């Protein structure tokens, strides 16, 4: 299998596409802007999904499912949300096709099958869910309502890139209802923490936790809490968001409850979500010019065993015992018995697919009671005694996970620059790998938009841990009380 991956330093965009396709994660589909997620890519998404689902349930959430279609009148009920997504909506207007009398063998829309009300293919589910919650919530005893759904959504994008931005993608969306504002804010912050924990502990991707500026906020939210990651080309990726929706949707859909004093109130709401975009983030955080580099906790295959030069009875026996012992430890392992490919070809193939650990077993190795171990992250190889090799691999997987996180964190720290003037700001952005810029901002939308217009950099977040610091806005010179993070972004 010829890799032919573009050089990351020379053509980052093509490098990314090459990895996605040549590592068999996904491919373009017959529908423009949509993707086919291939088995290996879907296995990666399943590992992410299953871990997140466990974390959601540990925080008291349950799963449900709501319709793909949203009546247009419901979609319009919350004006800011409808306006925010209007340009990305796909709309169903008819429910039937018929034979075209002017072109035999072709079909046409049946004009008599027009829907009484147009349906929006969900870009997000707040409208359909809050219309449903109105019937589910009557009393304070019904609260909090903590529901998540795993689904697909459609946001009609003109410029697409596999995983990062596609017209249809997979995600989860949590939608919760609470009796008080304080409970809802606590929920939104809790889910930001869950996302950050998942990104750092499982994806080995360090993130900055913060809040969005008003212009970057989710349409219909009072506050948006975000986690922001830095990719290897120095651009930021919004890796997950959690929104405090206030009572906006409750008022739009008349979702009320009777409190303990039998007084009627509107509920308080949150929503939160991450998507298959995380796979794009994973690729761009860790991978190299040889292909994917995957953190062991999420890798579909954590260990691959390769017979050298080919399978044989003696090698098979050792390999199968090693597989059994590794599986008993919960390690995902594969024995590559394809005798049509040479070992060197297999090494390159599994390196391209990002398998964290490779074990080579040859007859001479067995005579000496050893195996060869190679780790994907550093390319280091070592010879290890067969006795104790399972414990060694267990520790190695943990070491790789930690190394990937620490390497990405070091990169982010090196590529986060504090500036005090707009000239310094522009100079950082002119670098090949610009990264995060920490700068004072006067808090106005006007300044934010002007900076974006001039530099294409946006405020990624106001970091949760940003200290109080008197200064002057990097652009306007007006007073500022803390620094915010700017970056060019995906």
User: What CATH number has the domain bearing residue 362?
Assistant: 3.40.50.800
How high is the pLDDT of residue 266?
98
Q: What are phi and psi of 244, to 5 degrees?
A: -90, 110
pLDDT beneath 70, residues of the chain: 1-3
Residue 208 bridge partners (DSSP): 228
The C-alpha atoms of residue 60 and residue 62 are separated, in whole angstroms, by 7
Cα-Cα-Cα-Cα dihedral sign, residues 357, 361, 366, 368? negative
How high is the pLDDT of residue 3?
56
Cβ contact 355:294 at 8 Å: yes
Q: Are residues 322 and 439 in the same domain?
A: no
Q: How many degrees, rounded to 5, is the angle at CA 308 between CA 303 and CA 309?
A: 140
Around Cβ 410, how many Cβ atoms within 10 Å? 11
Three-state secondary structure call for residue 342: coil
Q: Which CATH number does the domain housing residue 441 bear?
A: 3.30.110.30
Q: Are residues 262 and 309 in the same domain?
A: no
Domain for residue 4, yes or no? no
Cβ contact 428:421 at 8 Å: no
Domain that holds residue 373: 303-395
Q: Which two tokens stand for residue 112?
A: 């008599």
How high is the pLDDT of residue 1?
44
Domain for residue 411, yes or no? no
Per-residue model confidence as pLDDT tens digits over 147-173: 999 999 999 988 899 999 999 999 999
Q: What is the domain count for the chain? A: 3
Q: Are residues 105 and 145 in the same domain?
A: yes
Q: Which two tokens stand for residue 439?
A: 């700068």
Please report where in the chains the tokens 């990097």 appear, as a residue: 474
Longest dimension (CA), the chain: 81
How high is the pLDDT of residue 157?
85
Q: Are residues 168 and 77 in the same domain?
A: yes
DSSP state of 339: T
Q: Are residues 391 and 352 in the same domain?
A: yes
């Amino acid at each position: 299998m010829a890799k032919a991956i573009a050089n990351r330093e020379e053509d980052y965009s093509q490098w990314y596409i090459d990895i996605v396709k040549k590592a068999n994660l996904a491919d373009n589909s017959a529908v423009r802007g949509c993707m086919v997620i291939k088995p290996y890519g879907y296995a990666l998404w399943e590992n992410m999904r299953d871990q997140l689902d466990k974390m959601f349930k540990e925080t008291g959430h349950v799963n449900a499912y709501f319709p793909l279609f949203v009546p247009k009148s419901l979609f319009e009920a919350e004006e800011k949300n409808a306006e925010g997504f209007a340009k990305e909506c796909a709309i169903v207007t008819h429910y039937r096709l018929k034979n075209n009398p002017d072109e035999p063998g072709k079909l046409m829309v049946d004009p008599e099958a027009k829907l009484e009300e147009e349906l929006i293919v969900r870009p997000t589910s707040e409208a359909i869910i809050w219309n449903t919650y109105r019937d589910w919530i009557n009393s304070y005893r019904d609260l909090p309502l903590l529901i998540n759904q795993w689904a697909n959504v459609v946001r009609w994008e003109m410029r697409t890139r596999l995983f990062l931005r596609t017209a249809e993608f997979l995600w989860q969306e949590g939608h919760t209802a609470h009796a008080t504002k304080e409970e809802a804010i606590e929920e939104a912050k809790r889910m930001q923490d869950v996302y950050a924990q998942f990104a750092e502990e499982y994806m080995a991707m360090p993130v900055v936790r913060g809040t969005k500026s008003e212009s970057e906020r989710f349409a219909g939210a009072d506050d948006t809490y975000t986690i922001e990651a830095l990719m290897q080309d120095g651009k930021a990726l919004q890796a997950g968001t959690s929104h405090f929706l206030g009572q906006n949707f409750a008022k739009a859909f008349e979702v009320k409850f009777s409190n303990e004093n039998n007084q009627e109130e509107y509920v308080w709401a949150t929503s939160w979500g991450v998507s298959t975009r995380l796979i794009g983030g994973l690729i761009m955080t860790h991978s190299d010019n040889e292909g994917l580099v995957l953190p062991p906790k999420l890798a579909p295959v954590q260990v691959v065993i390769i017979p050298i030069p080919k399978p044989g009875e003696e090698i098979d026996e050792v390999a199968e015992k090693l597989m059994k012992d590794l599986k008993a430890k919960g390690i995902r392992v594969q024995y590559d018995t394809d005798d049509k490919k040479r070992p060197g070809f297999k090494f390159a193939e599994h390196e391209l697919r990002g398998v964290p650990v490779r074990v080579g077993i040859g007859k001479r190795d067995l005579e000496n009671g050893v195996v060869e171990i190679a780790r994907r992250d550093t390319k280091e190889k070592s010879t290890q005694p067969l006795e104790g090799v399972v414990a060694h691999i267990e520790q190695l997987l943990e070491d790789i996970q930690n190394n990937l996180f620490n390497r990405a964190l070091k990169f982010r720290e090196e590529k986060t620059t504090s500036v005090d003037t707009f000239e310094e700001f522009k100079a950082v952005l002119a670098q090949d790998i610009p990264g995060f810029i920490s700068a004072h901002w006067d808090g106005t939308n006007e300044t934010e938009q002007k900076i974006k217009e001039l530099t294409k950099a946006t405020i990624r977040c106001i970091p949760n841990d940003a200290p109080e610091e008197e200064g002057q806005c990097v652009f306007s010179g007006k007073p500022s009380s803390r620094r915010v993070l700017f970056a060019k972004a995906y």
